[in-house]
Amino acid sequence: MTLPATRVIRLERQDWRLFATIDDPSTRNAMTAALTDDLWAILEATRADRSLRALILQGANGAFCAGADLKRADRAGAVASDEGDPILASNRRGGELFAALDAHPLVTIAVVDGAAFGGGFGLACCADFVIAGPRARFALSETGLGLPPAQIAPYVVGRLGLRLARQLALSGRRLDGPAALAAGLADACAAGEADIAPLLGTILANVGNCAPEANAVTKSLLHRALRADPAAYREEAARAFSACLRGAEGQEGVRAFTEKRRPAWADPARSGVAGGSS
């Protein structure tokens, strides 16, 4: 796979791991048009690539993602014209981006060591794993600006549950790393910056034991499980299981089990991580 050209995200591939570092100091890594374009390009380029297994999203310059680019939103104009409503279109497009990240076949890991406000909070909630660094700060800051957390709401509720999502959205309360861990927003919390890489390495080592196509299919089924008609889901699940069992990964996995060895994709030399810089 050829990595896409990006403007405000630095990409670094390490074997089956892709580090995506948001680096836009002038906006505190806000969700500008450049950032959303970069994220779309990365998600599209990696969607079908099973030589990759994990996408690690992090931020540089002491911030993860400061949320919406409100200066640009204000310039866009609040009044719809005969050509359409630019604010509505932009917000809808943002919702499509969050949905694409949430459903992405790769294992996604958000390393938050700085502000994750508004849309940045939403990006974290769309990830499969969240690591909070010592500088992590999370907040649903929209209502303090007279706005609702509109497109990220399903992912916030999905990760935190309705009760806590209500409390955070309706108060704007900020959470540091330990509070995010206690709330279930973060899955691990680093006491110091040097502790982030070992926590990430543990997650990646576990991911490295799992077959990449099986992980992609599993993510798809998990997303469908809560939304599909039960009978339709059972049929879809049976077809997915049958296809995987007959596929190369399933055949290798069964052989490895019967031969009492590790499967080919779980080479321990491939499961570690050198760590991307943030």
- Map out the domains of the chain with their CATH numbers: 9-207 (3.90.226.10), 212-262 (1.10.12)
AA letter at 215:
N
Task: Encode pLDDT of 211-270 as tens digits.
Answer: 999 999 999 999 999 887 889 999 999 999 999 999 999 999 999 999 999 999 996 555
Burial 238-263 (b: 16+ CB within 10 A, else e): eebeeebeeeebbeebeeeeeeeeeb
Does residue 126 surpass a pLDDT of 70?
yes
SS3 for 272?
coil
Task: Encode pLDDT of 10-47 as tens digits.
Answer: 999 999 999 999 999 999 999 999 999 999 999 999 99
Q: Cα separation of 110 and 186, whole Å?
A: 9
